[in-house]
Structure 1
């Protein structure tokens, strides 16, 4: 089906519904009309869906319905099983047995100590036994309370199961009507009755429900269910092999890694000369004037207030070190990220090849980056910048590529028709139109660079991150908050200047 059909009249609509549902055409025609004609909630009830639940969804090709209510029904059944069969106080009773055995052992020691004439040791063992008896009483009370809760859990399970069945009955026709509308424009949407899907749904139920119910209702389930049946025999050899690989790479390509570190150190040293070694009044004045000229008086006033905060709380030098780290990382991210984003935006094949790498860079926990960074580049500020680059570069690449792909094809065709070369098309048409997305990527990259400041301090990057790390180690709450606010203000000043400069240039060009 490819027509929308609604303008063809009730007969065409009825015919398409029959073609879609295959069985119970009159019922679904009436229910779909009720749903489509209602301005609010339509009381549409599907008895078969309420009775068979997830299996009905699988039979009708509604896999979203199947998985949603498979989980909800299972949750309700677990509560029913716990209320009916589970020994809720088993753990506490097992603790009672262990404590009782310990008490007997302590009393035996006391008797032996008395027989040996050691009154002090006997008194000590008896005192421990008395304390353990109190623990036994508490554990027994907990076991009794858990057993008494069984009836309440059973009632909750019954209530949940009834509620889920009501939801299934009332929601089924809504979900099926949405699938019908999708089917009218997409022939690949499942329709009719599918016994293969129903059989697959039944197998999934048999594979998921019994094992889960067994796990949560049996006091001591089989170890095979609770523990994956394998030991760590593969872990140590694999870890040793990977460690050997790291060592081999560090030795064989040590010159390359040293060259990368030296290059980053040059950029970092240059920024530190400008920001740290230059007298602070000069740096503050230059930033204020730059903010005024590029972003306007409001951003300039905010920048001056933020810089005053850094100075008055004695955080000027460490803040400038942090800005140098951020500047080096952000500069390298943009230098490499924007051209890569442009390339990926113009070549879908290149983007598809890079997508797994970008996903890896964004999803791998930040602390894990530090392992290969330390192995290949050592510790200090340049390795901290490298770790920040890995973490912060993907947003500017992705958003630049997105902006390039969103440039209208008609605009590019018109520019080529007027004689634009590829370079002119890129410089004068594609990049300007993609600039809002690129600026968003720059913003996200800067903020993610700042978020890595504390983590990079773990490998000796220094700056405000070291202050926060020290505050965490010694629970110095005030020190940590002041340093955290300093990082926030640094990020806001940089972002406001860059974004304000872009907005001013847009206004000046009439964009």
Structure 2
């Protein structure tokens, strides 16, 4: 070995001692063998073999910690399955002839889970013991570059690892030993607790046991009074009424006593299961919001004064259901429903006017597409594709139009195109100014960006709910749902295009005396055309996809064929309509891409 190589080895040995902290005599030759590729695969790190997650946490090898913990927990879960199903198998074997299916099922499960537990525990241990030193050497290599990488032996890391194990392993293992909880078991527990909490102050008793005693006394007293009245042959009307009331009171109190008894018999294990291993426990049970229905009625006084179209909003309040409690989710949902109902009644004229505008726009665009001779429409598509996208795209557009004509989907495709055109026009009319405002005002951009992110994240079907709530089931709400779903790309890419205009270009325009409006109209918008066109492309694609889904609320076109085929399980019809939608989308995409590229070359 040369002198330089010897000095490098000495330096590395010193750094290994600094890195490992303890057991340098073991790790120095092991790291040397790992670096040379001569460490045998069967070589085992004893501590990583016995307690891999504890060794990994102490040494700061956190990736190995999580992998080893997952393997051990999964092995324990499989073992608990064997323990869970073994008594069930023994019980089924008592009458093996009648329970042959259960015996075979439980035996198969026990065998499968048993082998899985053995393979995971033994194989996982051997793999982790043989891989630990290689993972640790990789960490050492990173540490030599960045000393922030964990090194040495740290008991604090071990305590953190033990805390993680204590949180994950016991509950997961315990859950594996339990059969599936009854779906209503936890709800019944909660309901019984609510009844008891309502009755305790009414009877002025400290606990459920005293409550049951007090209720038994009241029931016995009412029963004796009922028996006395029942024994009277010729009862007066007052006595009959009292007897009927006593019967109802005995029945109601009996139900409450049953729930109090159920609460008294809930075991600690059942309470624990509902709190920790079932669904997330309900944090609050609230009194429901007032059940209010808003509707518009004629204002007789205003009509008498000469305004025959006068109407007013009245609120009809229903009495709440006695004792009803709801979750936070139900409370919020009912409050939103009441608010929407009020808005619909209060601003019915506005919603009707918007619906009428959208309906009339849609009708006129449909007429333009469907009444225009098909050769003219086909020629326009082909001319646009030839002028902006080239010969290949022109051939594809011609083939796609031929598919629509051959399968008799031309008129229906034109209905879908009309919905997309109206929706896209609204998106451009509203989205372009908002995008410009976002680019010009950082505070508005700071507020608007998270809203747009939420709009793009919400599932598309969710947009149909408010549209139907405000506008009913028809094509106008389908247009509105499509607009809300498809508008974010138009806004974002418009703002992005303006923000990407070089500052030097804007400074030069301002230096030549351009006003802010001239700067926007003659510099920023022209230079943002490629980005705006990309936003328009994305908006049209999203509008087309939403137009298909909007068939669920009454939109016509190719989407209606897909939803009808879905309901009737007609795979062929749905597949052909889906192909037609894809071809329409691809035609529009290719043509717009060609137009965008032509602007980029200007």
TM-score tier by shorter-chain length is: 0.7 to 0.9
Question: Could you tell me how far 1:311 is from its partner in structure 2?
Answer: 1.9
Unaligned runs of 5+ in 2: 1-6, 182-268, 286-324
Moved more, 278-287 or 232-241: 232-241
Following the alignment from structure 1 to structure 2, what is the Cα–Cα distance between the partners of residues 431 and 45?
Answer: 67
Mapping for residues 390-429 of structure 1, pairs under 5 Å: 390-397=484-491, 412=502, 414-415=504-505
Asked if 1:448 corresponds to 2:408, the answer is: no
Following the alignment from structure 2 to structure 1, what is the Cα–Cα distance between the partners of residues 339 and 66?
Answer: 43
Q: Sort the Cα spacing of 1:156 and 1:249 in 2 relative to 1 into closer, same or farther, 3 A.
A: same
Asked if 1:90 corresponds to 2:88, the answer is: yes
1:138-170 CA-to-partner distances (Å, cap 9, x unmatched) read 633432452365244322211122333344345
Q: Sort the Cα spacing of 1:282 and 1:434 in 2 relative to 1 into closer, same or farther, 3 A.
A: closer
Mapping for residues 272-311 of structure 1, pairs under 5 Å: 272-311=366-405
Question: Could you tell me how far 1:373 is from its partner in structure 2?
Answer: 1.2
Asked if 1:158 corresponds to 2:157, the answer is: no
Contact 2:529 2:599 in 1 (8 A): no
Mapping for residues 89-488 of structure 1, pairs under 5 Å: 90=88, 137=97, 139-147=99-107, 149-172=109-132, 190=150, 192-219=152-179, 222-223=269-270, 224-225=272-273, 226-228=277-279, 229-230=281-282, 233-234=326-327, 236-258=330-352, 260-265=354-359, 267-337=361-431, 352-397=446-491, 412=502, 414-415=504-505, 432=527, 435=530, 441-488=535-582
Question: Could you tell me how far 1:216 is from its partner in structure 2?
Answer: 1.6
Following the alignment from structure 2 to structure 1, what is the Cα–Cα distance between the partners of residues 337 and 350?
Answer: 19
Question: Could you tell me how far 1:203 is from its partner in structure 2?
Answer: 2.1
Asked if 1:79 corresponds to 2:39, the answer is: no
Q: Sort the Cα spacing of 1:378 and 1:148 in 2 relative to 1 into closer, same or farther, 3 A.
A: closer
Following the alignment from structure 1 to structure 2, what is the Cα–Cα distance between the partners of residues 438 and 25?
Answer: 63
Q: CA RMSD in A?
A: 4.3
Larger radius of gyration: 2
Question: Could you tell me how far 1:419 is from its partner in structure 2?
Answer: 5.8
Question: TM-score, with normalisation over the residues of structure 1?
Answer: 0.73
Unaligned runs of 5+ in 1: 1-7, 101-135
1:200-250 CA-to-partner distances (Å, cap 9, x unmatched) read 321221222122222223457754435345587325444322211221232
Contact 2:506 2:519 in 1 (8 A): no
Q: Sort the Cα spacing of 1:215 and 1:403 in 2 relative to 1 into closer, same or farther, 3 A.
A: farther
1:58-81 CA-to-partner distances (Å, cap 9, x unmatched) read 434454443343223211221123
Following the alignment from structure 1 to structure 2, what is the Cα–Cα distance between the partners of residues 323 and 9?
Answer: 72
Q: Sort the Cα spacing of 1:373 and 1:191 in 2 relative to 1 into closer, same or farther, 3 A.
A: farther
Q: What SS does the aligned partner of 2:85 have?
A: coil
Following the alignment from structure 2 to structure 1, what is the Cα–Cα distance between the partners of residues 120 and 24?
Answer: 32
Following the alignment from structure 2 to structure 1, what is the Cα–Cα distance between the partners of residues 528 and 13?
Answer: 47
Following the alignment from structure 2 to structure 1, what is the Cα–Cα distance between the partners of residues 20 and 476?
Answer: 64
Q: What SS does the aligned partner of 1:379 have?
A: coil
Q: Sort the Cα spacing of 1:202 and 1:438 in 2 relative to 1 into closer, same or farther, 3 A.
A: farther
Q: Which residue is equivalent to 2:65? A: 66
Contact 2:351 2:471 in 1 (8 A): yes
Question: Could you tell me how far 1:322 is from its partner in structure 2?
Answer: 0.4
Following the alignment from structure 1 to structure 2, what is the Cα–Cα distance between the partners of residues 23 and 289?
Answer: 78
- Larger helix proportion, structure 1 or 2? 1
Question: Could you tell me how far 1:28 is from its partner in structure 2?
Answer: 5.9
Q: Sort the Cα spacing of 1:182 and 1:373 in 2 relative to 1 into closer, same or farther, 3 A.
A: farther
Contact 1:294 1:501 in 2 (8 A): yes
Question: Could you tell me how far 1:400 is from its partner in structure 2?
Answer: 6.1
Following the alignment from structure 1 to structure 2, what is the Cα–Cα distance between the partners of residues 364 and 370?
Answer: 11
Q: Sort the Cα spacing of 1:149 and 1:479 in 2 relative to 1 into closer, same or farther, 3 A.
A: closer
Question: Could you tell me how far 1:297 is from its partner in structure 2?
Answer: 2.1
Question: Could you tell me how far 1:487 is from its partner in structure 2?
Answer: 0.8
Q: What SS does the aligned partner of 1:86 have?
A: helix
Q: Sort the Cα spacing of 1:10 and 1:37 in 2 relative to 1 into closer, same or farther, 3 A.
A: same
1:26-84 CA-to-partner distances (Å, cap 9, x unmatched) read 7666666766676999998654444333334443445444334322321122112323x
Contact 1:35 1:44 in 2 (8 A): no
Following the alignment from structure 1 to structure 2, what is the Cα–Cα distance between the partners of residues 351 and 65?
Answer: 43
Q: What SS does the aligned partner of 2:84 have?
A: coil
Following the alignment from structure 2 to structure 1, what is the Cα–Cα distance between the partners of residues 69 and 521?
Answer: 52
